[in-house]
Amino acid sequence: MRCQLLYIHFGVYLGRCEGDRQFEKHGVSLEEAAIVFGDGNGLDWDDPAHSDQERRFKRLGRSVSERLLLVVYTVRGVKYEKDSFRIISARPASRRERQAYTRRTD
C-alpha cells in the first residue's frame, strides 16, 4: 500500500494510509483529529509507557464537530517557525477523559 503524506492545519503531518485505518477502527479521521491542536483548553501529557523509539504525547481536546478526542502524537520538529506533529492515533475520549477535560475547563 502506498502512503501519501499530507500537511494540514497546526503543523500536523498525516499518512493517508494511516488515516484510512484509523477511521475504520475508531470513526475519527486524522483531519478531524488535527483540529484538537487548535483547542486552547486542550490537555497535553507525556506518554512514556508507549515511547520505545520516539517520544510520544497525548492530547485531549475538542474537534471542529465538538467531539472530545484523545490524540496520540509525536513532535517532528519545527517547520515554517511552528512545531510540526505526526498523529499516531486518535479516538473518542473515554468517560474518565471527558471528566478530566470538564474539570479543566470549568
> Tell me: the pLDDT tens digits for 19-68?
566 666 778 887 788 888 889 899 998 887 766 777 889 999 999 888 99
Cell numbers that stand for 61 in this block = 481536546
The radius of gyration of the chain from alpha carbons, rounded to an integer in Å, stands at 13
The pLDDT value recorded for residue 2 is 39
Instruction: Please state the pTM of the whole predicted model.
Output: 0.75
Q: What confidence tier does 4 reach under pLDDT thresholds 50, 70, 90? A: very low
The pLDDT value recorded for residue 52 is 74
Q: What confidence tier does 14 reach under pLDDT thresholds 50, 70, 90? A: low
* Strand boundaries in the chain, DSSP class E: 5-8, 12-15, 43-46, 57-62, 68-79, 82-92
The pLDDT value recorded for residue 69 is 95
